[in-house]
Structure 1
Amino acid sequence: MRLRKPLPPIALALTSALALSGCFAASDTSAGAEASDGKRIRVAMMNPPRSGLSPLSDDAFKLSRWSTAETLVTLDDEGDAEPSLATKWTRTGDLTWSFTIRDGVTFHDGTSLTAEAVERSLTEAAGAAPKPRILDGVDFKATAKGDTVTVTTGEPDPLVPQRLSSPQLSILAAKAYEGKTVNPVGAGTGAFVLKKADGASSATLDRYEKYWGGRAKAAGIDVTFVPDGAARAAALRSGAADIVEAIPVSQASLLAQDQITEVPMPRTNTLYLNTEKGVFRDAGQRAAAREAIDAEALVKGVYEGRADVAEGLLGPALPWAAEQREGRTGAARAAKPADDVITIGTFTDRAELPEVAATLQQQLQDAGFEVKLEVREYANIEADALAGAFDAFILSRATVIDSGDPAAYLHSDFMSDGSFNISQLADTGVDEAVRTAEETAAGDARRAAVLDAETAVLNTDAAIPMLHERVIQGDAAHVVGSAKDPRERELITPDTYIK
């Protein structure tokens, strides 16, 4: 499936703003509608597909948010696995898990969901190049037998069920894999069938009348991709859209407050300090930087109050973290700020970060540090950040990756062999704590181990969590039952409808 060449940003914004009212079908009619009752839901989404809606890419999250492609399991609010296309599972050995496949499910092309169909989808994912993130570095094999699928891993993995909740491991009909790319049109099992995907412009979905989970209340979904945030907000104000995702902070105050919902995201705005060289190699200097930062001023100023002050690396999107966190158990005493100039890097791709950097610069200078900023596009600064070229780096970082579990984030960002270790941290206590969390079975014990690892990181002052971002979702007054999901896996469910 070929994507249209994107318009330049200015042209795209103008096109979106001026022609938006013509982009959405009326909410109760559509050329693609097959249902005789219920209204259609018009949705304005931020990012257009980047990989032709392939479920093996980040586009998979769109398919999940539209309730068209489904996985073997889903996650509850705590991050524990729940049944979906698999009704139950059991660990049958150190390296093996058995999943029982739900009976009576049909794909949107009318073919039946079978263990062999599940094996095919998971095998395609395991052999993809590149692999879905959730399988990166994981030796993974699926084998069908009767109504079960056995998943075998190269090493013991207590998170296999959570991995299988990733939208990138959606189960699709055989027709999806007939070409060179995976094409999800008419190939899912969800409440809505994807009828048409018009490149980077729009998508059309109709209610699937034979959905195993019960008939959806809406007749269908009409999606328009609107990258410009002001244009998305305008669509909600004008009534051109029923649901709008990712409204910018700057636009939220222009909308009626009963039209917006702020959802805590598992994303933390953090100042990473270089522990390997430079000023912040000294623990006392790192402590001085921590004490100089006024996170509440950042939330009130840069984010207009639409963020949460960080108490740790893990925020309110993971409610168990706040409930169980005991906090820092020890840290170095703050030293007098050094005379050396410190360089803080960040990037322009997230609109708030340059302003965060400027505010932090002032706060640190007020405390006695001399600070220089270096701000570039992310693509042009990532390599230097990972190489330890800066004394400090400001990053907005997702703290739960596709499994819904924070251990992978803690490993990549803070273990000695972490692939995203901007702080250049090499601490045996942190390594041991994170490794323990990774090896602990899912559930309360694992969550407790994760918080122990968080405490170990905080005690080093290698990373200073400042705030947790929120995603702002817009719903017209006549929308009922849209999902407000911090993991951004759900949006339109079978129970979503227009009054």
Structure 2
Amino acid sequence: MRLPARRLLPATAITAASALLTGCFAGTESATGTGDGKRVRVAMMQPPRSGLSPLSDDAFKLSRWSTAETLVRLDEDGDARPALATGWRQSGRTWTFEIRDGVTFHDGTELDAGSVVRSLTEAASASPKPRILDGVELTAKAADAGTVTVTTATEDPLVPQRLSSPQLSVLAAKAYRGRTVNPVGAGTGPFALTAVHGTASATLDRYDAYWGGRAKAPGIDVTFVPDGTARAAALRSGEADIVEAIPVSQAAVLDQDLITEVPMPRTNTLYLNNAEGAFADPALRAAAREAIDADAIVKGVYEGRADAAEGLLGPALPWAAKLREPVARGARAGDPKGAAITIGTYTDRSEMPEVAALLQQQLQKAGFEVKLDVREYTNIEADALAGRFDAFVLSRATVLDSGDPAAYLYSDFASDGTFNLSQFADEGVDTGLEKAADTEVGDARRAAVVAAEAAVLAADAAVPLLHERVVQGDAAGVVGAAHDPRERELVTVNTYVK
């Protein structure tokens, strides 16, 4: 890939970034439990939103710090593999999981079937539920000290994948004694969470009794740095060892040997309102699709650090490209004749307004009259879900929490999908989506998923633009940092700083 021309940060930006970083990583040498070697200093983008409760999106932080673990993990293909459970079997609506022996929580108590049942029951009865259990009725029971049965209201081939979600982490009893779930000192991973300082920082120390072997680093010091320029400056100045989510605009000014780009299961998509307005006309949906130049968006907005989309599922799911066939389109492009449309998007991801502006130019060139409505996501989501835009630009995770794209496709494109921004309804597509969701995990399910994707694209329910990459910075002395497309791993048992 040809790298963009090197650019220098303005002095004012460097000064601002340095001010933001002052004190961010101070005091890590004196943190408790330093042990041997160097502690890993991590700069993360988003501070905790729910006090690091595993029942929220904060669960992914606990997973990335290797402090909370689940019964199951996912391999590169999204297939379930043993973690705190060593094996499982299905009988109708019930799955039986064998719990790993010799595991202790960070408070010294032992992992057993009762511990698992307590954590899963807390999640299943939470309000709101973790999103991996949205629409799922799940009951967990201890068959004996080392065996747990999980039963769902309907037969569900994805139960093991669901149980890989960080939001279903298994914690010690102490985590559930307050009004909220408190993960401090309650996980089973190689690092014990010892302190959380609001939305500023967190401290983790190595847990020497970890069932998977002693971690190579003595601990982790996390600082939350929402400002992208400041995070990049932390890597450049040597104040952080690992920096997540470096903005594309900053990546070009860093030492490229310190940058790793990993394809994410996240697609930047233009959802077209199929129910009303200009795009209720299939010919105008086709006209919009043909007018869009995704390569120009990749180069102009993402500076080449993204992949132009061939479908809704990108290179983070390599099996999709192998199975995909050319899409048979259902309509020919019509003449927009000045059709007025409004595109909505949000400011929370800095690239979205720029993407929308380029789309505006491309669609206007094709003959549409285009207005933009750009707000913070919390202020625009309700209108988007209600179909108040002709089109909406969204950066969307395509495997959600189960590692399986069938749930995303159903949510976004089924007639009764809960995130159907396109207001799309097609009985034939519904049948294909249901087949994908009900098919047993494996090659047959993947084929059904790709067939459902083709049906959605044939109707121009949405136009996939590009697949994002996560840009991560690792200092020269970092060894073994994870580069995980699903953003579940970051510092692992094998990560250390020379």
TM range (shorter): over 0.9
Task: Kindly report which structure 2 residues correspond to 1:31-430, keeping only aligned pairs within 5 A, or say none.
Answer: 31-35=31-35, 37-92=36-91, 94-146=92-144, 147-430=146-429
Instruction: Give me the whole-angstrom Cα distance separating, in 1, the residues matched to 2:490 and 2:376.
Output: 30
Instruction: Give me the whole-angstrom Cα distance separating, in 2, the residues matched to 1:148 and 1:14.
Output: 57
Instruction: Give me the whole-angstrom Cα distance separating, in 2, the residues matched to 1:312 and 1:247.
Output: 26
Alignment-mate amino acid for residue 32 of structure 1: T
What residue ranges of structure 2 are gaps of 5+ in the alignment? 1-13
Alignment-mate amino acid for residue 98 of structure 1: T
Instruction: Give me the whole-angstrom Cα distance separating, in 1, the residues matched to 2:331 and 2:37.
Output: 62
Report what 1:9 is aligned to: none
**Kept in 2: contact 1:21–1:235 (CA 8 A):** no
Report what 1:20 is aligned to: 21
Q: Displaced runs of 4+ in structure 1, greater than 4 A? A: 13-16
Q: How many residues align?
A: 484
> By how many angstroms is 1:429 displaced?
1.3
Deviations 1:378-416 (A, max 9, x none): 222222222222211111111111111111111111111
> By how many angstroms is 1:329 displaced?
2.8
**Kept in 1: contact 2:339–2:367 (CA 8 A):** no
> By how many angstroms is 1:14 displaced?
8.3
Instruction: Give me the whole-angstrom Cα distance separating, in 2, the residues matched to 1:79 and 1:377.
Output: 32
Report what 2:6 is aligned to: none
Instruction: Give me the whole-angstrom Cα distance separating, in 2, the residues matched to 1:331 and 1:297.
Output: 26
> By how many angstroms is 1:477 displaced?
0.6
Aligned to 1:22, the other structure's residue is in SS state: coil
Deviations 1:241-277 (A, max 9, x none): 0000011111111100011111111111111111111
Instruction: Give me the whole-angstrom Cα distance separating, in 1, the residues matched to 2:463 and 2:438.
Output: 26
Report what 2:492 is aligned to: 493
Instruction: Give me the whole-angstrom Cα distance separating, in 2, the residues matched to 1:23 and 1:279.
Output: 50
After superposition, the CA RMSD in angstroms is 1.4
Aligned to 1:381, the other structure's residue is in SS state: helix
> By how many angstroms is 1:30 displaced?
3.3
Alignment-mate amino acid for residue 18 of structure 1: A
Instruction: Give me the whole-angstrom Cα distance separating, in 1, the residues matched to 2:358 and 2:338.
Output: 20
**Kept in 2: contact 1:276–1:425 (CA 8 A):** yes
Aligned to 2:357, the other structure's residue is in SS state: helix
**Kept in 2: contact 1:343–1:371 (CA 8 A):** yes
Aligned to 2:202, the other structure's residue is in SS state: strand
**Kept in 2: contact 1:21–1:240 (CA 8 A):** no
Report what 2:4 is aligned to: none
Specify whether residues 192 and 15 from structure 1 end up closer, same or farther in structure 2 by C-alpha distance, changes over 3 A only.
farther
> By how many angstroms is 1:361 displaced?
1.1
Instruction: Give me the whole-angstrom Cα distance separating, in 1, the residues matched to 2:466 and 2:299.
Output: 11
> By how many angstroms is 1:444 displaced?
1.2
Deviations 1:93-118 (A, max 9, x none): x2100000000111111111101111
TM-score under structure 2 length normalisation: 0.95
Alignment-mate amino acid for residue 232 of structure 1: R
> By how many angstroms is 1:376 displaced?
2.0
Instruction: Give me the whole-angstrom Cα distance separating, in 2, the residues matched to 1:381 and 1:177.
Output: 34
Aligned to 1:409, the other structure's residue is in SS state: helix
**Kept in 1: contact 2:483–2:490 (CA 8 A):** yes
Alignment-mate amino acid for residue 334 of structure 1: A
Instruction: Give me the whole-angstrom Cα distance separating, in 2, the residues matched to 1:317 and 1:30.
Output: 40
**Kept in 2: contact 1:72–1:164 (CA 8 A):** yes
> By how many angstroms is 1:331 displaced?
2.8
**Kept in 1: contact 2:17–2:233 (CA 8 A):** no
**Kept in 2: contact 1:346–1:376 (CA 8 A):** yes
Instruction: Give me the whole-angstrom Cα distance separating, in 2, the residues matched to 1:190 and 1:222.
Output: 16
Aligned to 2:222, the other structure's residue is in SS state: strand
Specify whether residues 226 and 321 from structure 1 end up closer, same or farther in structure 2 by C-alpha distance, changes over 3 A only.
same
Deviations 1:136-165 (A, max 9, x none): 111101001221100000011000000000
**Kept in 1: contact 2:17–2:229 (CA 8 A):** no
TM-score under structure 1 length normalisation: 0.95
> By how many angstroms is 1:284 displaced?
1.2
**Kept in 1: contact 2:20–2:230 (CA 8 A):** no
**Kept in 2: contact 1:32–1:206 (CA 8 A):** yes
**Kept in 2: contact 1:140–1:152 (CA 8 A):** yes
**Kept in 1: contact 2:241–2:475 (CA 8 A):** yes
Bigger Cα displacement from structure 2, 344-353 vs 237-246: 344-353
